[in-house]
Chains A and B, each alone.
Chain A
Amino acid sequence: AQRVTQPEKLLSVFKGAPVELKCNYSYSGSPELFWYVQYSRQRLQLLLRHISRESIKGFTADLNKGETSFHLKKPFAQEEDSAMYYCALSPSGTYKYIFGTGTRLKVLA
């Protein structure tokens, strides 16, 4: 079955501390993986996608096929990073997303 697991519902860190939001997936093929973010009172928006290998707002994510993980990392958290983060998988050749249940990140001053 195709599934995305985000084990943490809530993650609290202090400003300036490193952040890692965990995402594991279950998919037999080559997945396309994404992180979406939803700031307070805003719409869901793309943060980054694995195929681009980019860094957005200081966040990076590396696809580890051996561990079937796509964890989101940032070395120094900022208060404005506080938001809901969703990991999503798009089975190759399809158009739909399979989302995890999300992790709420709170960055404390």
Chain B
Amino acid sequence: GAGVSQSPRYKVAKRGQDVALRCDPISGHVSLFWYQQALGQGPEFLTYFQNEAQLDKSGLPSDRFFAERPEGSVSTLKIQRTQQEDSAVYLCASSLDGGGNTEAFFGQGTRLTVV
């Protein structure tokens, strides 16, 4: 595919359920980012990978959030024991390198609703 692909596009989870969100970055992109976008807000940084290494997870809101990118391509964001405050759009982005001035390409996002 030509762009960043995220699945599922929509996810409804019962409170307490575990969820896994997938991101397929642009082929060859070294850097991968996850952002969380609550309703009416801008995206907020969660975590950053350079290849398979998770270099920054400072934005993860709690230890219920876990992200991995084991082979340096596809990434999964896992949320355990979901809470209502986890309801948001989760955006994945990738870039060719990690430079601050490098354009990040965003996926369509996964809209998570916790009921």
Residues of A within 8 A of B (CB): 4, 9, 32, 43-46, 49, 51, 86, 88, 90-102
**How far is A66 from B49 in the complex, measured between Cα atoms in Å?**
34
The segment out of B18-26, B63-71, B77-85, B104-112 that lies at the interface is B104-112
Question: B31 contacts which of A4, A95, A98, A100 (Cβ < 8 Å)?
Answer: A95
19 CB-based A-B contacts, threshold 8 Å? A4-B42, A32-B101, A43-B107, A43-B109, A44-B43, A44-B106, A86-B43, A90-B100, A92-B100, A94-B100, A95-B33, A95-B99, A96-B45, A96-B59, A97-B35, A97-B45, A97-B104, A99-B43, A99-B44
Secondary structure at chain A's binding surface: helix, strand, loop or mixed?
A: loop
Contact B101 A101 (CB under 8 A): no
Contact A95 B100 (CB under 8 A): yes
**How far is A91 from B105 in the complex, measured between Cα atoms in Å?**
18
> Across the interface, which residues of B come within 8 angstroms of A99, CB to CB?
35, 42-44
> Across the interface, which residues of A come within 8 angstroms of B3, CB to CB?
43
B90 within 8 A of A: no
Chain A residue nearest in CB terms to B40:
A101
**How far is A51 from B101 in the complex, measured between Cα atoms in Å?**
8
